[in-house]
Structure 1
Amino acid sequence: MPVLVQMNFPHQGPWGAEMSEAFRGLAETINAEPGFLWKVWIENQDDELSGGIYLFDSRENAEAYVAMHRERMAGFGVTDMQVRHFEVNEPLSTLNQVSLTPAKP
């Protein structure tokens, strides 16, 4: 069953196009993570928050990625990361136009 992961953490920039440039390399590596299907990058400059909404093919792969990402973010000094896991209701999600297919590198 696909698992959606929402991660948020404090972030003071860069934002928008500058964020896209700064994190492009990181974004490219995520595509190779086991079980990764897709990610929506999110940012809220007013609240100084950033993060993402990820879709993985299983809870096991989602949890492995979160553990790795927590460690990586701690290396950048980010330790206050909020993480939530959700199982995806495929029939209803598909009815509402969600694509549950893997990302293309």
Structure 2
Amino acid sequence: MAHVEGLLTVYKTGELTVVGFGGHDSIMNLNLAQCRDELITLIQEHDCKTLAFDLTGVKVMPSGTLGLMAAMRKLDVDVHVYNPSVDVREVLEITKLDSLIHVHEIEIPNS
């Protein structure tokens, strides 16, 4: 079962840590400070090397959330995004964040 804190859902922890937003289509009310703190804790406590965001179901992503994802790279983790909507994918391309964040169109493997 996934751990849920606010809208952030933690699916897996470890060197590969997988988080998402529980299939919510809008994450406009996400508490970025709380989310950032939880991500930092997960990264530090689980010696995370790869942080994967499962965006399944997310249709709209605020710029602050995109910035948060990009900022996680400063913690020496590789950031991946899985299953972005067409709109989210387009924003990643326009902002060139797709050159900083690995974008995948496939489901996250259960490894």
Same fold (TM over 0.5): no
Q: Which has the higher contact order (CA 8 A, sep 6+)?
A: 1
TM-score, scaled relative to structure 2: 0.28
Bigger Rg, structure 1 or 2: 1
More strand by share: 1
TM-score, scaled relative to structure 1: 0.29
